[in-house]
Structure 1
Amino acid sequence: MTRRPFTPKVVTANALLEGDAVWLTEDDRWTRDIADAELIEDEAVAEDRLLFAISQPDVVVGAYLADAKPTDTGPAPIHFREAFRTRGPSNYAHGKQAGE
């Protein structure tokens, strides 16, 4: 069986307290903007970064590697699920969304 070639990834998770989708930056911060995320093009580095994310259960939950592509403004999602997560929660008019 042949292995599929590694494709670029970002580390994503949900912020523990707010539940927002977040992405890991190159300088070990969590951002709510995927364009600021670290785009990882090496499989071993991706695994190390994921382990780093998983080691922060007091900050984030559900960390995983998501396929992404480079753009002029930073990483962008490839799959629908990730594109959907960049837009925030899908429910309306409560909490911090009530003012929008």
Structure 2
Amino acid sequence: MKALTGNRLVDGEVVFWRNGQWAERFADADLFADDDPAAEAAEAHAKNQPTVIVEPYLIDLVQSDGLWAPLSYRERIRALGPTNLNHGKQAEGGAAIEALLHAHGAARSTGRIDLIKRK
């Protein structure tokens, strides 16, 4: 599974693609199958929004506590907010946050690797 992420240009907030718009919570993100052409279409659409979003890319997901979470540690931190447990999105709690906190995997997302290679 994959999700589309990027940073909102006006404030740098990490955002996730949901139904043609950007949502601030990973739990709200649209999830795409690995071979879903809709994922590439969403990424292409997002890349055509240079005044809204910065460097959108697809991230790999893994199951955690029955929910989905980013595979890479970097992407889990981006989804949770600051690593201080009393701040950021993780301070809100809930099942989606618990799944993010308990996810395992340290691999880089293939979308991020592709982004690094392009530079």
TM-score normalized by the length of structure 1? 0.71
5 Å matches for 1:1-100?
Answer: 8-25=1-18, 27-41=19-33, 42-69=35-62, 75-89=68-82
Please say which structure displays the higher CA radius of gyration: 1
Shift of 1:58: 1.2
CA RMSD of aligned residues (A): 2.5
**After TM superposition, which residue ranges in structure 1, 4 or more long, deviate above 3 angstroms?**
69-75
- CA 1:35–1:81: 2 relative to 1, 3 Å: same
User: How far off is 1:74 after superposition?
Assistant: 5.7
Identity %: 36
Distance 1:72 1:47, change over 3 A: same
- Provide the TM-score with structure 2 as the length reference: 0.61
- Unaligned stretches of 5+ in structure 2? 92-119
Question: Larger relative CO (CA 8 A, sep 6+): 1 or 2?
Answer: 1
Cα deviation, 1:23-56, whole Å, max 9, x if unaligned, reads 000x211111011000001342211110011111
